[in-house]
């Protein structure tokens, strides 16, 4: 799989990560924003300590996290594709989790968000597998077309 193909796999992962970080910050209480960072609300045990240190630290943590994900997806041949898929799904669910807190309208927004994330991800995966078919090395996933939503 070429680096260009891997970048198409990385796009939904990094985009949904950024959206999830934004929704996490937007979902913090007024007490948090007045400087009481111990009031941070975050279910992810890896991200919570950064959020409890403040929004700038949390954003920096998110940037470093996204850079590590990019390095793994682009450089780790055997697991990069799976990491891209797992990160994409995790942040789609995480972002939707923040939206459902707004009641019935939030549930509708969460469903729309998940559908948009699925469609955007499928388009990127199709683009990545198309690049493999046109000159790249064979896909790392034997059933890449199935992952990308294509049937033979």
Nearest to 12 by CA among 89, 97, 94: 89
Q: Determine which of 100-104, 116-120, 142-146 has the lowest per-residue pLDDT on average.
A: 142-146
Question: Nearest Cα to 95, choosing from 27, 19, 13?
Answer: 19
Q: For the segment 24-50, what is each residue's pLDDT rounded down to a tens digit?
A: 999 999 999 999 999 999 999 999 999
Q: 133-147: per-residue pLDDT in tens?
A: 555 544 444 445 555
Q: Band the pLDDT of 98: cuts 50, 70, 90.
A: very high
Contact 132, 9 (CB under 8 A): no
pLDDT band at 3 (very low <50, low <70, confident <90, very high): confident
Rounded to two decimals, what is the model's pTM? 0.81
| Contact in structure between 89 and 16 (CB atoms under 8 Å) | no
């Amino acid at each position: 799989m070429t680096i260009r193909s891997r970048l198409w796999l990385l796009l939904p992962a990094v985009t949904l990560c950024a959206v999830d970080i934004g929704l996490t910050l937007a979902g913090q209480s007024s007490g948090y924003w007045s400087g009481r960072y111990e009031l941070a609300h975050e279910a992810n045990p890896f991200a919570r300590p950064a959020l409890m240190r403040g929004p700038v630290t949390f954003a920096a943590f998110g940037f470093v996290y996204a850079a590590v994900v990019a390095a793994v997806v682009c450089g780790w041949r055997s697991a990069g594709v799976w990491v891209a898929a797992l990160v994409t799904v995790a942040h789609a669910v995480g972002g939707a989790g923040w939206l459902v807190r707004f009641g019935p309208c939030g549930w509708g927004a969460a469903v729309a968000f998940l559908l948009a994330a699925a469609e955007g991800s499928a388009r990127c995966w199709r683009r990545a597998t198309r690049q493999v078919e046109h000159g790249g090395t064979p896909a790392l996933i034997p059933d890449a077309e199935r992952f990308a939503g294509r049937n033979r």
